[in-house]
Amino acid sequence: MNSNTMFKISYGLYVLFTNCGKKMNGCIINTVNQVTSQPNRITIAVSNANYSCETIKKTGFFNVSILSEKAKFDIFKRFGFATGKDIDKLKDFLCDTANNGLPILKSDVSNGWLSCKVIEAKDLGTHTLFLADVLDAEIISEDEAMTYAYYHANVKPKPKADETSKDVKKKGFRCVICGFVYEGETLPPDYICPLCKHGVDAFVPL
């Protein structure tokens, strides 16, 4: 089996917002899927290493802001490169608030949002899959939604010429969220990026 086939699956990019008690938190995810329309339900998969996973299990609520093609790299650095355990990701950051009290992004970086309540959670080993009812939702712009392909081609900074030449000589995988490079012939199926805590679905071959 060619495991690289999994990299051909298309993904969107989102900011997942949760309530940590003393503060709000957000992280980048790429696994949001509508599973039923009546009732309106979605699933999200969150790495068990992420602080957001822990807080969703405690509170049972979360918001998802859908990133648009207007989102800049700063959004990914803020919500994808560090853990909410160590920093307040929303400090000095302007955002709106949904009716459930959790943050949502503004229309300059997002085209819509969902407010959700967890009805079931299943531990998948490296990640937890949350099944949730959509309690509220809104379209806030008509901008195209951000995809992994668009992010990689247009948002993520391109490596310098000397870095590119080094990557050609190396065999490995690059995290499309934060740019971390894993060197090796194959990527372990349970590998977690040490920088942004995303799993193997965030990596592409060099």
- pLDDT for position 195: 73
pLDDT (tens digit, 9 = 90+) per residue, 130-164? 999 999 999 999 999 999 889 988 998 876 655 55
pLDDT at residue number 196: 76
Predicted confidence at residue 154, as pLDDT, reads 93
How far apart CA 2 and CA 15 sit, in angstroms, is: 30
pLDDT of residue 163: 53
Q: What is the pLDDT of residue 162?
A: 55
Nearest to 130 by CA among 24, 7, 1, 16: 16
Instruction: Residue 189: count other Cβ atoms within 10 Å of its Cβ.
Output: 11
Local structure of 1: helix, strand or coil = coil
Report the alpha-carbon distance of residue 52 to residue 20 in Å, rounded.
Answer: 8
Mind listing the pLDDT tens digit for each residue in 70-124? 999 999 999 988 888 889 999 999 999 999 999 999 999 999 999 999 999 999 9
Ranges of H-type helices in 23-160 = 51-59, 73-80, 148-150
Cα–Cα distance, 159 to 155 (Å, whole number): 12
**Count of residues making up the chain:** 206
| CA 88, chain centre distance (Å) | 17
- Measured between its terminal Cα atoms, the distance across the chain in Å is 19
Long-range contacts formed by 179-185: CB under 8 A, 24+ apart: 181/206
Residue pLDDT, tens place only, 31-54: 999 999 999 999 999 989 889 999
Q: For all residues of the chain together, what is the average pLDDT?
A: 88
Residue 174: band (very low, low, confident or very high) from pLDDT cuts 50, 70, 90: confident
pLDDT attached to residue 175: 84
> Domains, the chain, ranges and CATH?
10-149 (2.30.110.10), 158-205 (2.20.28.10)
C-beta separation of 177 from 27 below 8 A: no
Query: Above 80 in pLDDT, residue 125?
Result: yes
DSSP-derived secondary structure for 155-189: ISPPPPHHHHHHHHHS-EEEETTT--EEESSS--T
The more confidently predicted of residues 149 and 169 is 149
Q: Nearest-CA neighbor of 136 among 104, 159, 163, 161?
A: 104
For the whole model, what pTM was predicted?
Answer: 0.83
